[in-house]
Amino acid sequence: MLYAVFMSSALPPFPTPQEPSEQPVLLELGAGSDEPCLRADAARNRARLLDAAARLVAEHGAAGVTMEAVAAAARVGKGTVFRRFGDRTGLLTALLDHSESKFQASFLSGPPPLGPGAPPVERLRAFGCAALRRAADDLELQLAAEPCPDRRFLVPARRVRHAHVVMLLRQAVPGADAELLAQALMGYLEAALLHHLTRQCQMPMERLQAGWYDLVDRLTGAGQPG
């Protein structure tokens, strides 16, 4: 299950302590919006389909995961897969749901510096490094699950991350346009860029993490004299 934070067009200042006053709303990316609570048999069928998809990823990589292949592996009709996940992107996103849920829990309520209790700049540094490591672990699957341009910025998981970065920026750089600056920071963490830098440019993860620290420090003014 994923924690989702929804933002209005004009957000009020965030109170102290560092987390928003409203509790996040739980979302399940793989389930249809009209089925917030799956029946037991539907939940079993969904788990069976995800197990089949995970086997295909392990055997053939993300490219081997098609709606037809999952239906055949799970021995169900193709229409069942479409009804449960909508399309291939929805299916692949559901496969990423578990690791994304753990990641969100770590920055929303885990120990500092990633979780609450550390200064906002330290949390921003930790967030980017953790996001880079997580993306590297699931890079092929994340690239395959990349939504089309008109959906890219509406995916619940990305909205949660963006809202979190906005919150930290508002605390670290009061008066700045935190929503736009957060989009710029989020661009550094995109799976496509990570693929280009690590696979095509052969950059080590240590360099990317150091670059994230430098970007955060320059943006927030951390470490600069007076």
- CATH number for 129: 1.10.357
- Contact assessment for residue 93 and residue 144, using Cβ atoms and an 8 Å cutoff: no
Are 66 and 101 in the same domain?
no
Mark whether 186 and 104 lie in a shared domain: yes
Q: CA 4 → CA 45, 120, 147, 173, distances in Å?
A: 25, 20, 18, 24
| pLDDT band at residue 225 using 50, 70 and 90 as cut-offs | low
Last residue of a domain, one of 66, 86, 106: 86
Q: Are residues 103 and 162 in the same domain?
A: yes
State the residue range of the domain holding 205. Answer: 87-221
226 to 114, 168, 206: CA distances (angstroms): 26, 21, 29
Q: How confident is the model at residue 144 (pLDDT cuts 50, 70, 90)?
A: confident
* pLDDT tier for residue 175 given thresholds of 50, 70 and 90: very high
Q: Tell whether 163 and 80 lie within a shared domain.
A: no
Give domain status of residue 28, yes or no: no
Higher pLDDT, 1 or 183: 183
Is the domain of 56 the same as that of 137? no
* Claim to verify: residue 150 and residue 82 sit in the same structural domain: no
Q: Is residue 99 part of a domain?
A: yes
Q: Report pLDDT for 4.
A: 43
- How many structural domains does the chain have? 2
Query: Where residue 76 sits, what CATH number does that domain have?
Result: 1.10.10
Is residue 22 included in any domain, yes or no?
no
- pLDDT, position 196: 97
Residue 223's pLDDT is 65
Q: What mean pLDDT, rounded, does the chain reach?
A: 83
Q: pLDDT of 32-42, one tens digit each?
A: 444 445 577 77
Cite the beta strand spans of the chain per DSSP E.
2-4, 25-27
Q: Is the pLDDT of residue 117 over 80?
A: yes
For the entire predicted model, the pTM comes to 0.72
136 in a domain, yes or no? yes
Q: Note whether residue 205 is domain-resident.
A: yes
Range with the lowest mean pLDDT among 56-60, 123-127, 157-161, 210-214?
56-60
120 vs 54: which has the higher pLDDT: 120
Whether 117 and 172 map to the same domain: the answer is: yes
